[in-house]
Amino acid sequence: MQKIIPNLWFDDQAEEAAAFYVSLFRNAKVGTVMHYDKESANVSGKPEGSVLTVAFTLEGQDFVALNGGPQFKFSEAVSFQVDCKTQEEVDRFWNKLTADGGEESVCGWLKDKYGLSWQIVPTVLNEMLQDENPIRAQRVMKAMLQMKKIDIAGLQEAYGRD
């Protein structure tokens, strides 16, 4: 059992969001769905019988989506980083997460249609940024800072010039 489980607060889209996130990853599943009972509905103002929480797992990481109401919204202060091995993988996550109202940002950051921030990062980026040659690493950083979605070929071009 995982000791720390991130909980994501939604107004009333927890079940929809959990299903969406599960659809993005190959190793993912929706778990237990709990509903508001009479007492919790009275306290929260949510309808009795409506979805309270949805447990789900992405790549071995457990999460809970909670329908808590409109009081709290996501911010960039918390984001999920997805490590991608190929440009195809970067493109797939980027396209799915920015679809239907998601928003592109810079340097591999985006917000999905629920307002949750993600960083779609190719593994090679960190390898290049940690290069022993600080000039190469600086060129990669400069190239990355000009990008929205990270382009591996663009990083490799900046990295390889000597």
Q: Map 112-146 to HEC letters.
A: CCCCCEEEEEEHHHHHHHCCCCHHHHHHHHHHHHC
% of residues, the chain, pLDDT over 90? 97
**Rounded mean pLDDT of the chain?**
96
Question: How many other CB atoms are there within 10 angstroms of residue 91's CB atom?
Answer: 16
Residue 12 has pLDDT above 90, yes or no: yes
The answer, yes or no, to whether residue 22 has pLDDT greater than 70, is yes
Predicted local confidence at residue 156, as pLDDT: 96
Taking residue 39's Cβ as centre, other Cβ atoms within 10 Å add up to 9
Query: Could you check whether 1-69 and 74-162 share the same CATH topology?
Result: yes
Mean per-residue pLDDT for 108-132? 97
pLDDT at position 162 is 52
pTM of the model: 0.93
The domain 74-162 is classified under which CATH number: 3.40.50.720, 3.10.180.10, 3.20.20.70, 2.60.40.650? Answer: 3.10.180.10
Domain ranges in the chain?
A: 1-69, 74-162
Residue 35 exposure: Cα atoms within 13 Å on the Cβ side: 6
Task: Indicate whether 148 pLDDT > 60.
Answer: yes
pLDDT at 32 over 60: yes
As a whole number, mean pLDDT of residues 57-81 equals: 96
User: Would you identify the CATH topology of the domain 1-69?
Assistant: 2,3-Dihydroxybiphenyl 1,2-Dioxygenase; domain 1 (3.10.180)
Q: What is the Cα–Cα distance from 157 to 155, expressed in whole angstroms? A: 5
